[in-house]
Structure 1
Amino acid sequence: MSDTARSTFDIRFDENNQEFAIIGSMRPQRVEELSGCARMLETSLAMVRGTFYVNVKRLVRLNNIAFHMLANLLVKACEERPDLRVLVITSSVVGWSTRKFRALQRAHASIAVEEYDNEFYPGQAFLEEGGFIPILRTQTKMTWRHEKDILPRHGLREGLTVADICCGIGDFAALVHKEFKPARLVALDHSRSSLDYARKVAADFGLQGIEYIYGDASEMLIEDDQFDFVTCRHSLQIFDRPELILAELFRICKPGGRVYVTNEKISHCLGEPRGDSIQWTYNELSKLFAHFSMDLEFGPKSRRAMIDAGFGDIRAETFMVTNTDGDPQDFTDTVNAWKVLFAQDMSARRGDSKAFMERFARGFDDHIFAALHPKGYAGWPIWVVSGRKPQ
């Protein structure tokens, strides 16, 4: 819906979820310009029972004329219907929206406002704590030895418009910028500390031209059909509803463009000698992440998820990061960081016993032993899947 040059927005009502969503910029010059929106809101309110969700996570602008129209209709509905509860869902990405809509809580007791935040990224808090951020750079260094040859098979070449979604500390985006020289490169993440580190990485590489954006991967403030190639690495597995991210990756990709994702099946980490201990620990690691609503077994599921999201021409392959890829110390540094984060911090937060945590940690130590053993072998498998958005 577009009412004026200053007011361009879409409104959608999902009857199954009782959700009324407003997307875009709502800045009318006269309230009459919002008559269509008002009618649809009133009709939607009449159809629901219980909680009515108002989703403004992707409402980037709202003037007072539009706000008062929405507020009056919502308050009026709550006054007329004691059974009705209104929940307005805002986003921390759009800083003003929570402050603006919280006025509705004061206007009526049946209206509440919730800010959609990183609680929807269960793994993010763990990965931002302590000293784990630097080890992510080592991980990317190890995977890049493989991915720089894999990416062209999945359609990446020089001169494309590229988005790296859930970019984390930005090292992958920096490497893509250097190797493939994209015409445009946007890197988005929901962690301010990671983006701060990402800007430091770009400075260390002496790179300019990467657009860093603070944003929510499941509700991006990016227009449709923007990028030739969209990447999202090791992220679907730590998001409790990966289909939401995939839908957004599909949306921002140009028709004919490709989306590239990587994920793990952590229980397939391996090593010899001491293979049994290593296998036990990584099986338990999968269960630990499941406890926190994450799926480190997502790798092989990626192909089906891409098909379900509407992609075609699916390409899938795997590679194994090993202790024989460059310096084995990089591998052991990574596993040791995993041990600290998973076998200590996360395991303790789950409430595991001291005996369990000791055995859990021992498997990581045995993985390190295998990596450093002169005759040993240690591996960490990655699944790569890409799909084309239909023309």
Structure 2
Amino acid sequence: MLDTLTPTYTARFDENSQELSLIGSMRPQHEADMAKCLQVLEQSLRLVRGTLYINVKRLVRVNNIAFRILAAALVNAATERPDLKIKIITSSVVGWSTKKFGVLSAVNANLIIEEYDNEFYPGQTFVENSDFIHVLRTQTKMTWRHERSILPRHGLKPGMKVADICSGIGDFAVLMQKEFNPSRIVALDHSKSSLAYARGVAEEFGISGIEYVYGDASEMLLEDNQFDFVTCRHALQVFDRPELILKELFRICKPGGRVYVTNEKNSHCLGEPHGESIQWTYTEVAKLWHHFNMDIECGPKSRRLLQDSGFDKIQMESFMVTNLDGDPQDFADIIESWKNLFAGDMAKQRGDSPEFIERFKRGFDDHIFAALHPKGYAGWPIWVASGRKPL
């Protein structure tokens, strides 16, 4: 690992992944201020074969001097090493980066621009559907009945500095703000439409003080060791590389603080009557998510994922959201939305046959029937895990 730190940015090369990461604010006043960065780039070029990755996802600022010097060095490298591809990884979170670095691809075909978010968030387009928002609120309302008592067991106390990562439409951050009165709370999400809705939710509840941040959960523009308690709910299961999210959650958490995650194992959804039909459908849901590089079976794996990411003192438990948690129609509404999403857009994109989709829908309908039946029972299990960042 080559690592050079200047007062405002870091240039770091990882030989194993052949990736040069540029992090921070690159605003030199003179060409000499770029010498260390160019030195790391030159060393990187000597060590790589095939493809060199230039990661600028957390490069928050680049002035004209820096860009001119960096661009010239990359163009020269691509010209002198025709055997080498140089792939510049940008992010939509840092809005200018794709456009600014994109001009280089027109200069040399071996300079390739890739906007990372498009590949990393395979389920983003599904969950951003505005029709799904009211369902997300219902889900949070039903899980909060359980989580408001679970959170203190996992370390959340009044007055803490809290971050809700992958905050979605923001209702969970609002509930934590009202119940636990944190000294600071940040809600970060990658969806601009969700954040816009979240601000409306906070206004509706008369809640102030929540810092809404647009950001990439795998490359957050938040400083190290900031938060006493970090939440990330129903999110690891949506990403194709959850270990990158956990690495960032670990980084922003204070030593001695805790990271709290919730995830599902959808094949364990259940109901009676018509239990066999329900079981078949939710087993197929897991296969469908796997097709889109998402893992809705992630829940019981949470303990291992936290351990592998460096956390200790791990706590884990599960709870069952059921049709008996308040109004059974709320539960039925959630399942109806799942049917529309899973047996609708997702199944069609996978290319499923009409016969399969018809059987697929039947299991959701039977789950709704179980939820609304006067003698029925319907359940949706959630796994909760938290880990401490070692002191």
The reply to whether residue 222 of structure 1 matches residue 215 of structure 2 is no
Q: Report the CA distance between 1:117 and its aligned residue.
A: 2.1
Distance 2:83 2:40 in 1: 20
Runs (5+) with no aligned partner, structure 2 = none
Distance 1:2 1:33 in 2: 12
- 1:176-191 equivalent positions in 2, closer than 5 A: 176-191=176-191
- 1:230-379 equivalent positions in 2, closer than 5 A: 230-379=230-379
Distance 1:228 1:27 in 2: 32
Q: Quick check: 2:5–2:11 contact (8 Å CA) kept in 1?
A: no
- Which residue identity lines up with residue 197 of structure 2 in the other structure? Y
Which SS does the other structure have where 1:93 is aligned?
coil
- Which residue identity lines up with residue 40 of structure 2 in the other structure? M
Q: Report the CA distance between 1:108 and its aligned residue.
A: 2.1
2:107 corresponds to which residue?
A: 107
User: Greater CA deviation, 165-174 or 115-124?
Assistant: 115-124
Distance 2:81 2:356 in 1: 53
Distance 2:325 2:387 in 1: 28
User: Greater CA deviation, 75-84 or 168-177?
Assistant: 75-84
1:381 corresponds to which residue?
A: 381
TM-score by length of 1: 0.97
Q: Report the CA distance between 1:17 and its aligned residue.
A: 1.4
2:154 corresponds to which residue?
A: 154
1:193 corresponds to which residue?
A: 193
Q: Report the CA distance between 1:81 and its aligned residue.
A: 1.4
CA displacement, residues 337-375 of structure 1 (integer Å, 9 cap, x when unaligned): 111111122111111111111111111111111111111
Q: Report the CA distance between 1:34 and its aligned residue.
A: 2.1
Which SS does the other structure have where 1:284 is aligned?
helix
CA displacement, residues 26-59 of structure 1 (integer Å, 9 cap, x when unaligned): 1111111222221111010111111111000000
Runs (5+) with no aligned partner, structure 1 = none
1:26 corresponds to which residue?
A: 26
Q: Report the CA distance between 1:88 and its aligned residue.
A: 0.7
Q: Report the CA distance between 1:103 and its aligned residue.
A: 2.4
Q: Quick check: 1:3–1:28 contact (8 Å CA) kept in 2?
A: no
TM-score by length of 2: 0.97
- 1:39-54 equivalent positions in 2, closer than 5 A: 39-54=39-54
Q: Report the CA distance between 1:119 and its aligned residue.
A: 3.1
Runs of 4+ residues deviating >6 angstroms = none
Q: Report the CA distance between 1:130 and its aligned residue.
A: 4.9
CA displacement, residues 193-231 of structure 1 (integer Å, 9 cap, x when unaligned): 111111111111011110111110001111111110000
- Which residue identity lines up with residue 313 of structure 2 in the other structure? D
1:69 corresponds to which residue?
A: 69
The reply to whether residue 125 of structure 1 matches residue 120 of structure 2 is no
Q: Quick check: 1:118–1:190 contact (8 Å CA) kept in 2?
A: no
Q: Quick check: 1:3–1:34 contact (8 Å CA) kept in 2?
A: no
Number of aligned positions between the proteins: 388
- Which residue identity lines up with residue 96 of structure 1 in the other structure? W
- 1:83-98 equivalent positions in 2, closer than 5 A: 83-98=83-98
Q: Report the CA distance between 1:376 and its aligned residue.
A: 1.0
Q: Quick check: 2:317–2:384 contact (8 Å CA) kept in 1?
A: yes
CA displacement, residues 111-156 of structure 1 (integer Å, 9 cap, x when unaligned): 1211122431111111112511110000000000000000000000
Q: Report the CA distance between 1:2 and its aligned residue.
A: 5.0
User: Greater CA deviation, 265-274 or 27-36?
Assistant: 27-36
Distance 2:208 2:130 in 1: 29
Distance 1:96 1:192 in 2: 16
Q: Quick check: 1:189–1:214 contact (8 Å CA) kept in 2?
A: yes
- 1:199-214 equivalent positions in 2, closer than 5 A: 199-214=199-214
- Which residue identity lines up with residue 183 of structure 2 in the other structure? A
Distance 1:69 1:348 in 2: 48
2:14 corresponds to which residue?
A: 14
Q: Quick check: 1:320–1:382 contact (8 Å CA) kept in 2?
A: yes
- Which residue identity lines up with residue 352 of structure 2 in the other structure? D
Q: Quick check: 2:166–2:217 contact (8 Å CA) kept in 1?
A: yes
Which SS does the other structure have where 2:131 is aligned?
coil
Which SS does the other structure have where 1:276 is aligned?
helix
Distance 2:41 2:150 in 1: 48
Which SS does the other structure have where 2:98 is aligned?
helix
Which SS does the other structure have where 2:261 is aligned?
strand
- Which residue identity lines up with residue 201 of structure 2 in the other structure? V
Which SS does the other structure have where 2:262 is aligned?
strand
Distance 2:130 2:182 in 1: 33
**RMSD value, Cα:** 1.0
Percent of aligned pairs with the same residue?
A: 69
